[in-house]
Structures are given as C-alpha cells and as structure tokens.
Amino acid sequence: MIIDCHGHYTTAPPQLQAFRDGQIAAFKGVAATAGWERATADISDDEIRSSLEGAQLKLQRQRGTDLTIFSPRASAMGHHVGGEGTSVAWTRICNDMIARVVSLYPDNFVGVCQLPQSPGAGLKQVVAELERCVTELRFIGCNLNPDPSGGHWTAPPLTDRFWYPVYEKMVELDVPAMVHVSASCNPAFHATGAHYINADTTAFMQFIQADLFKDFPTLRFIIPHGGGAVPYHWGRYRGLAQDMKRPPLTALLNNVFFDTCVYHQPGIDLLAEVIPVDNILFGSEMVGAVRGVDPTTGHNYDDTKRYIEALPLSDADKKKIYEGNARRVFPRLDARLKARGL
C-alpha cells in the first residue's frame, strides 16, 4: 500500500474561494463571518467528485498510489487575514470540505485539518477545532503553522510554552502535526519557493535549541518539503548542536519526520542518504506547488514515487517509506486500516 502523507484540496469547487474572497473583502466589518455556516451549502457532491476525478484521483491511479492524507489548500489558510473570528469561520468551512471529500472517497483520502490560527491570538480556538476534527470528523492529524503572520515571524518559536495547549491536545488525541506555513504577505518571501522552505528549516533549528520533546516525548512533527534545507545542511546542524552543548540530532528522530516532497532525483538521493529510513514518509504534495513537467525527465516534478523507486534501498525499506512509517506516525490511520483488514 502506498500512502501519500501530503496532499491538499487545491482543486475545490469555486464557491469555496468565492466565499473566501467575500470574507476577505468584508473582514473589517461584522460581515466577516456572517452566514458562513451556509457558505458551501450549494456545492454538490457531484461538483466535489468532478473536482477530484480529473486531478488528485486521476494522478493516484496514474502513479499507483493508494491513499492520500488530505488537508485544505495550505496557501489559502491565510491565517494573517482578518482576525481570529475570520480564521475560525474559514477553517471550519475548509475542514468540513475535507470531511465531505473523505466521505465520498473513504478508500482514497483521509483527513488532516487546518487550524484556526491568528497572529496574536491564543490557542483556545485552535485546540477546539483540532478536537472537533479528530473526534467528530475522524481526521488523523493537523497542519500547524509556525508563522501565522504570513512571513513576518511574530509568533514564538514552536518550542515556546505558548504552543503547549495544542501539543497537550495532540498528545491526548495521539495525532501528529505537519509543520506547514501558508501564503506569504511579505514580498521578500515567495510563498512556496522561499517561505515554505524557510519554515521547514526554521522549525528544525527551533527543535534543536530547546527541550520540547522532554516535555512531550510522544509529540510528533512531520517537516514537509523534504525538511527544507535540513538534510542538505545536516553537518551544519550537527555542528551547531555540538557547539551549543545540545544533544546530537539523532535525539530528535523519535519525534521529527520528513516527507519526500523534493522534486528531483539527487535531492531524494541525499534525503535517503542522510535521514534514517524510519524517519521518511512518502509524500508528493500533489496537486500543489509545482505542477509542470520536468523537460529533462519527461515526468511531472511532483511524481515523487519515481524517485523513491530509483533509490538503492531494499523493498522492506521502501515499504517503510510508502506505508509503515505513515502508519506509525498516524496511529489513528493505522487503526482504521487494520479495522479494514489492511
């Protein structure tokens, strides 16, 4: 079985974005969230089906993957837009759309939620939405944005006690978080080319600098996009940890995992050489950041299964990357698959 740990609903029916456009236009007034419960009521099941059949489902079939861990479009989370109420309404709508996708295609998708973060706000709403999504919508994880400001980095580091309420809930529910920023409102940082990769790298350095996993030994994070610059600069991070009298990086590997959303063979080769195979989860982030065809290979950049296939690893190790590690990091998924005899 091939589990893609990183997919977003980038092709949702246009009514979803229409609501968001109206919300953004109105967020300064009371209309920010008025009527939002019905915002997507006119999206039919058939519209949802057709939004997926020609995209994520077609690519699953073409590429031979089975199940996508699916979350709302990350760049559209837009935590920096409006206030906390804006974020709560938008987040609930987006998560409910994922729940509808999963209910239509339970064999192909399993849900991961966006969280209603907002710059300067506390985490009460975040914790409540995480609980709702896991206990009511049967989601198996969340996307946690380390920078709800959208590129200005005003939030405390992920190791700060500020974040502990959401970690306590993650531990209680036994769900991991993917560290995932959203759009950048800082023109210095291109969203998917700079801001995403910066955030991945930044999160890992934050984990080096503090003792978060002493307080939460079972807390689990997936750092996407191959871990940003981390695998490439592993020696730098090892050396920094050593100079700072911090534990060796291997101490983080019970809690920190990396996906394979690296869009060329040498990058995947390096990832697999540097990061232990037990810490790599197959992911493609399709249909997502990079949609084109690589003229040097004739294949889509985000067809990451091809790169895994080409790795000089045993079938047992590839099975870990494709399935075993995801089932370990997402225990609720493992339980669900076991219940289906898988």
Could you give the residue numbers annotated as active site? 285
Interface map 230-269 toward Zn ion (x if CB under 5 A):
----------------------------------------
Q: Which one, 39 or 110, has the nearer CB to Zn ion?
A: 110
Distance CA 70, CA 173 (A): 18
Position 76 contacts Zn ion (CB under 5 A):
no
Binding segment for Zn ion (CB under 5 A), chosen from 48-56, 230-238, 248-256, 280-288, is 280-288
Minimal distance in Å, beta carbon 295 to Zn ion?
Answer: 24
- Evaluate whether 240 touches 284 at the Cβ level (below 8 Å): no
- Evaluate whether 147 touches 155 at the Cβ level (below 8 Å): yes
Q: Which one, 88 or 191, has the nearer CB to Zn ion?
A: 191
Binding segment for Zn ion (CB under 5 A), chosen from 73-81, 99-107, 243-251, 294-302, is 73-81
Is the C-alpha dihedral spanning 211, 213, 216, 219 positive or negative?
A: positive
Binding segment for Zn ion (CB under 5 A), chosen from 23-31, 35-43, 71-79, 334-342, is 71-79
User: If DSSP codes are grouped into helix, strand and coil, which group holds residue 113?
Assistant: strand
Element (H, E) at 72: strand 67-72
Taking CB under 5 A as the criterion, the residue among 48, 52, 59, 74 binding Zn ion is: 74
Minimal distance in Å, beta carbon 285 to Zn ion?
Answer: 5
Q: Which one, 200 or 285, has the nearer CB to Zn ion?
A: 285
Sequence-separated (6 or more) residues with CB below 8 Å from residue 118: 79, 82, 83, 84, 86, 87, 125, 148
Distance CA 52, CA 47 (A): 9
Q: Which one, 84 or 200, has the nearer CB to Zn ion?
A: 200
Minimal distance in Å, beta carbon 95 to Zn ion?
Answer: 15
* Subset of residues 199 to 228 that bind Zn ion, contact rule: CB under 5 A: none
Minimal distance in Å, beta carbon 239 to Zn ion?
Answer: 29
Tokens of 55: 């995209």
Query: Going edge to edge, which strands form the sheet with 280-281?
Result: 142-144, 177-179, 221-223, 256-259, 280-281
Q: Which one, 39 or 224, has the nearer CB to Zn ion?
A: 224
Minimal distance in Å, beta carbon 71 to Zn ion?
Answer: 8
Distance CA 144, CA 112 (A): 11
> Which residue of this chain has its Cβ atom nearest to Zn ion in the complex?
74
Binding segment for Zn ion (CB under 5 A), chosen from 21-29, 67-75, 205-213, 304-312, is 67-75
User: If DSSP codes are grouped into helix, strand and coil, which group holds residue 340?
Assistant: coil
Reference 155, options 131, 174, 179; nearest CA is: 179
Number of residues that bind Zn ion (CB under 5 A): 2
Using CB under 5 A, list all residues that contact Zn ion: 74, 285
